[in-house]
Chain A
């Protein structure tokens, strides 16, 4: 249903996968994936083993596609070291050069990018400041917390001031404060005009960054676009609208007579109900008038399907 997606070509994509497949022996990592990503933040979502990391490794030229082409800025990603000056990768794995201090690590990465020693030092200080690690920059990486390591990895990804930033599970294992900090940094980088691809299997992390998502499962592209528009594609699957009301049973008996209501599920505590409808616009248009007409008390109305989690599970489990 949503495998074939018509794409907008208003903005030239900076990342383009065309019919890309990647096999590891007999195991399929990516299966005939065609995908274009333009500027802004793009959330790459999928369960473990969906192929997110493989996709990022293909995009960053670490892996070669078994079939198809992966292009960045119109150039092939594989074996194109010059393009690495325009991209940055924050890898998923936690490994760093453990014996270095945070500052030494960033200086090393900057020098590997081609900076002179003095420029590398300045760049490292600047980046460590921007990710909030200045106070810890002289500590050995081995003693860093998970959040500090993630910020260090993010800083190394930024040494070349890349136009595209690939973040592979950047929030994994971090505490809420570190997550908030990382989110702020990523949003700030997006405001600076960078193209950011964030992969995650934790839905709310991505939801708090962007509404533009790519959903993957078992190496296949399941859906791509704005979450609400993806939801609109699922025309066989009714929208779910939650009404929080003390008059659950009374309202349910009335709403069941509405032609565009497919079903109603009452919460066990009788404080809310979930209405399933294929015509949410009609439902939303009719509801206010009826509320006034019958003096219903409805404390809250929200669409459960705006939640990424619902979309994700529907698409993956269908």
Chain B
């Protein structure tokens, strides 16, 4: 017996469809803008904003309750300890890990996958938007924290010095955020339990390994950021009795014959490590993304 295919409906004379000229750049830019707008919606944005404002709140409370604490000590504890060890990895984890997973969970990824945009480009554009969002919050947090700490007119530190330290910190921490986004972006592509894995990574690598005085810390992001900061600015505080090098103590940067911190690895290597780590990991993630399927659960029928 013979059955026709489903072809018997009249194929009407098909006018040449009015196709948009495929502009990958335009589409990619539209995707970047969409991803940025997505970051501005929802509760996550508010939670992240509150977290980013936490160092400022602590600085305000400290100012109000504790007048004897030197500004540089407060700066060190907030800008060089709390922010890079707590806030920055968290910002990067939350934003970069959800690059694709968020769309998948929201079931909106279909609207991206059926567009003439390659999946690797979808990943990169959304990752770029995640980096932008994380960087904006990180820089805002650092700048406002500096403003709060040194906003006091009685501060002995010159405005020039404050701007220098703030700009240097922003630059170095921005590089660290970029590297974190590369790491967590890849994690978000290869595992569904990215938040758990990311927190474990942060605690183990950036928390434990980075703070022990062994060469193991060269596999952490924070080590390179600290090295650059340590060379860039002074962390010495005069307590009246003696001069403390806060960074050297807290980061185990005590000079010794085995530690050539003043020369090795040089700043450009540190910057290159962080930057290239980010580039390589995001390229790997884009490659994996391009080969991966993104299954969207279909709802149960109710009819």
Contact = CB atoms under 8 A, between A and B. Distances in A.
B2 interface: yes
A81 B118 CA distance: 6
B5 interface: yes
Contact of B115 (A99, A109, A201): A109
B20 interface: yes
Nearest to A97: B108
B14 A163 contact: yes
A191 B11 CA distance: 8
Interface stretch (A61-69, A250-258, A267-275, A303-311): A61-69
B96 to A, nearest CB: 20
Contacts of B58: none
A212 B113 CA distance: 28
A31 to B, nearest CB: 17
Interface in B1-37: 1-15, 17-24, 26-27, 30-31, 34
Nearest to A163: B17
A142 to B, nearest CB: 11
B67 interface: no
Nearest to B107: A95
Nearest to A8: B4
A42 interface: yes
A173 interface: yes
Contacts of B19: 85, 160-161
Interface string B97-121: 0000000001110111111111100
A82 B116 contact: yes
Interface in A91-110: 91-97, 99, 108-110
Nearest to A209: B9
A6 interface: yes
A35 to B, nearest CB: 8
A182 B38 CA distance: 30
Contact of B8 (A61, A85, A173, A212): A212
Contact of A63 (B26, B107, B293): B293
Nearest to A9: B5
Nearest to A171: B303
Interface of chain B, helix or strand or loop or mixed?
Answer: loop
16 contacts: A5-B3, A41-B6, A57-B295, A64-B293, A84-B115, A84-B116, A112-B112, A113-B116, A116-B20, A157-B114, A161-B18, A169-B301, A173-B303, A212-B5, A225-B5, A229-B4
Given A62-B114, A109-B115, A169-B301, A8 B107 contact: no
A89 B21 contact: no
B3 A6 contact: yes
Given A7-B5, A82-B116, A193-B12, A116 B26 contact: yes
Interface residues of A, number: 82
Residue among B5, B30, B115, B116 facing the most chain A CB atoms (10 A cut-off):
B5
Given A85-B116, A114-B22, 19 more contacts: A8-B2, A10-B4, A24-B295, A39-B7, A42-B6, A62-B295, A82-B116, A85-B20, A91-B296, A93-B296, A112-B115, A114-B116, A115-B26, A116-B23, A119-B20, A160-B17, A171-B303, A213-B6, A225-B5
Contacts, number: 205
Contacts of B108: 95-97
Nearest to B291: A79
A226 interface: yes
Contacts of B298: 53, 92-93, 168
Given A85-B22, A94-B299, A112-B27, A40 B111 contact: no
Contacts of B22: 82, 85, 113-114
B152 to A, nearest CB: 41
A11 B293 contact: no
Given A8-B4, A82-B22, A85-B19, A112 B299 contact: no
A114 B2 contact: no
A132 interface: no
B164 interface: no
A88 B19 CA distance: 13
Interface string B31-53: 10010001001000000000000
